[in-house]
Chain A
Amino acid sequence: MSEKRGSTVPEAKIVVRDLDMGYGSFVLMSGMNFTVSKGDIFIIMGGSGCGKSTLLKVIVGLLEPLHGQVFYDGVSFWEGDPQQKARIMRKIGVLYQSSALWSSMTLAENVALPLEQYTDLSKGYIRELVSLKLALVGLAGFEEFYPSEISGGMRKRAGLARAMALDPDILFFDEPSAGLDPVSARLLDDLIRELRDSLGATVVVVTHELQSIFAIGNNSVFLDPDTKTIIASGNPKRLLAESKDPKVINFLTRGER
């Protein structure tokens, strides 16, 4: 956490500068600026349909921004050459909102594919790694199941295992706890924190789950569809205590205050 690091300036991992995004000629958000530091658990908040998943797509390189830049460790993603992009993509793991497991492969094959792609590990070792990753998300024993044979929440967790397969530097989670029961959601929060602490990973989470936001988030941005920009950023707890913006307070208190 930032307090632990004391006065040293945290290393910037992802810098988003003057970013405009949208589909075609429709601008969803404009003028976005924020920095994700190394070791952050960074929350992207905002109402449904305001563009959180879209922002994630732009950051992980699936959707070209209308304007602006995304820097990874100081390297511009969208202006880099293909090799640079490939190097950056190698370091990130993504859990999609719809899990996006490859439906023609078993869970084990899903998790193994990134490992086969990027490492020269032996088949046996990969199998062990896969079992470990699946066990981490509570899916031990489901190796040979196909995505269509498990529940939505289980798919989400399998997607998480796949995102973690390569022990990436940066993890992106799009609503990881949607579809999970409260206890599993809590365990997931613990897992995310554990990943950050043990692997030194940086985590970017899109979530509506207030409890998660306060439990794990140490930095955040709040997207507002009316003004089409970020209207608040910072530690969620501090936002709740100090923000003057009624929209932010409304969101963080579920409109009950």
Chain B
Amino acid sequence: MHTKKQNDSKLYFSHPSQETLVVHLGGNWLLETPLPSVELLEHEIQLTATVRTVNFDASNLTIWDSNLLIFLSKVFDVCTKYNIRIRMEGLPQGVQKLLDLASSKRQRKGITGKAGKESFLIRVADTTFDFIQTSKDMLAFIGEAVLAFGKLLCGRANFRRTDLMNVIQESGAQAIPIVSLISLLVGLIFAFVGALQLKLFGAQIYVANIVGIAMVRVMGAIMTGIIMAGRTGASFAAQIGTMQVNEEVDALKTLGISPMEFLVLPRMLALVLMMPLLCLYADLMGIIGGMIVGVFMLDLDFMEYYYQTKSAVALTHLWVGLFHSAVFGVLIALSGCLRGMQCGRSASAVGSATTSAVVTGIVSIIVSTAIITIVCEVIGI
């Protein structure tokens, strides 16, 4: 018989016979104290390859909590690995009861043990199929949205007018402060950057052209788009996602109300109406930002700047800008609502729905800007 003391005799092993190994547990086993490594036991088993049974001796054990249970479950894993029988009689009654409750035979059979690690190829295949599925879902969603829009035009769409008003209020009026700030600063930045170069040629007055055309043609729309994607797109995804989690969307469906009309349509409509207005406002703020730089830094005359802007910015620029913003409105609303509707049934799913709504929104804004710009170039606007 040989005994080995370790870890302040918290854990040591003895061999009453060739075939049995006794695990002696002593002292405090609390969550704050470090957990001894089971490798000690594994080592012990490997040393004497004849062990068939593991017994426990807990006579010196003083206090214990889940810490001990974690250790024991690791011990059990090791024993299963080496095909060794476990006798729990030596453990305190309470420990035996808890282990029994947590044992695998007491668990419900069902969707447990989600598929573990998969091989690389399988993951690639899964991701590909997921991607195809997501694209299909997206197309189906867009199709349904178009149908709902058609119903709206026929005056048969089914949603509450108060919802529309609320969304307009939230996404339109309440966005004004942040839109003002951002677009004013963007105008300012443009003017600064342009002024540095133009000063070299003594052509400061053309700052008005740079700021005016850039803001009105694309930047006003893009800046409002990005603000709205972060603000409103995210909140759409969170609202609808939470409704998914709480089965509120199911409740609508069983009432025979189409969530597409009831939830998505008012949001889309509100954004399509509000985005051009906000964009117009952002254009104005951007020009004012440029004017601040022009008048106070470059010593241009206020009226001079005004006329220069007026002559530089053509009406087509304005139309192109407003068209951008209406498209962005649709895209932001669609991506927000799509991610919300696809949301899983948990709180964390709402979080990822929100994130992916913002990402989808911004990506689609940039991509559609590129497309519109190219098309404008080709048809010569």
**Interface presence of B158 (CB below 8 A):** yes
Q: How far is the CA of A94 from the CA of B254 in the complex (A)?
A: 8
Which residues of A are found within 8 Å of B166, using beta-carbon distances?
Answer: 104
What residues of B have a CB within 8 angstroms of the CB of A49 in the complex? 108, 110
Q: Which of B111, B239, B247, B257 contacts A26 (CB 8 A)?
A: B111
CB-contact partner of A103 in B111, B158, B242, B254, under 8 A: B242
Q: How many residues belonging to B are interface residues under a CB distance threshold of 8 Å? A: 21
B19 at the interface (CB under 8 A from A): no
Q: A22's closest neighbor in chain B, by CB?
A: B111
Pick from A9-17, A84-92, A123-131 the stretch touching chain B.
A84-92
Contacting pair A117 B108 (CB below 8 A) = no
Partner of B251, one of A61, A100, A226: A100
Say whether, besides A47-B108, A49-B108, A225-B109, A117 and B250 are in contact (CB < 8 Å). no
Within A64-115, the residues touching B (CB, 8 Å) are: 86, 89-90, 92, 94, 96-104, 113-114
B109 touches A226 (CB 8 A): yes
User: Are A62 and B248 in contact, with the CB atoms below 8 A?
Assistant: no
For residue A60, CB closer than 8 A to chain B, the reply is: yes
**Complex alpha-carbon distance, A100 and B248, angstroms:** 5
Q: Does B255 count as interface, using CB distance less than 8 angstroms? A: yes
Question: Known interface pairs A100-B248, A102-B251, A117-B158. Does A28 touch B110 (Cβ–Cβ under 8 Å)?
Answer: yes
Point out the residues of chain B lying under 8 angstroms from A89, CB to CB.
Answer: 254-256
A57 sits at the interface (CB 8 A): yes
Partner of A98, one of B109, B239, B246, B255: B246
Minimum CB–CB distance for A198 against chain B, Å: 23
Output the least CB separation between B255 and chain A (Å).
5
**B253: Cβ under 8 A from any A Cβ:** yes
Query: 4 shortest A-B CB distances, which residue pairs?
Result: A100-B247, A100-B251, A89-B256, A96-B247
Sample (25) of A-B pairs whose CB atoms are under 8 Å apart: A23-B111, A26-B111, A48-B108, A49-B108, A50-B108, A61-B254, A62-B250, A86-B256, A89-B256, A90-B256, A96-B250, A99-B246, A100-B246, A101-B248, A101-B251, A102-B243, A102-B248, A102-B252, A103-B243, A103-B246, A113-B257, A117-B158, A117-B255, A162-B251, A225-B109
Given contacts A60-B254, A94-B254, A102-B252, 20 further A-B contacts (CB under 8 A): A23-B111, A26-B111, A28-B110, A47-B108, A48-B108, A49-B110, A62-B254, A92-B254, A96-B251, A97-B247, A98-B246, A98-B247, A99-B246, A101-B251, A103-B242, A117-B256, A117-B257, A162-B251, A225-B109, A225-B110
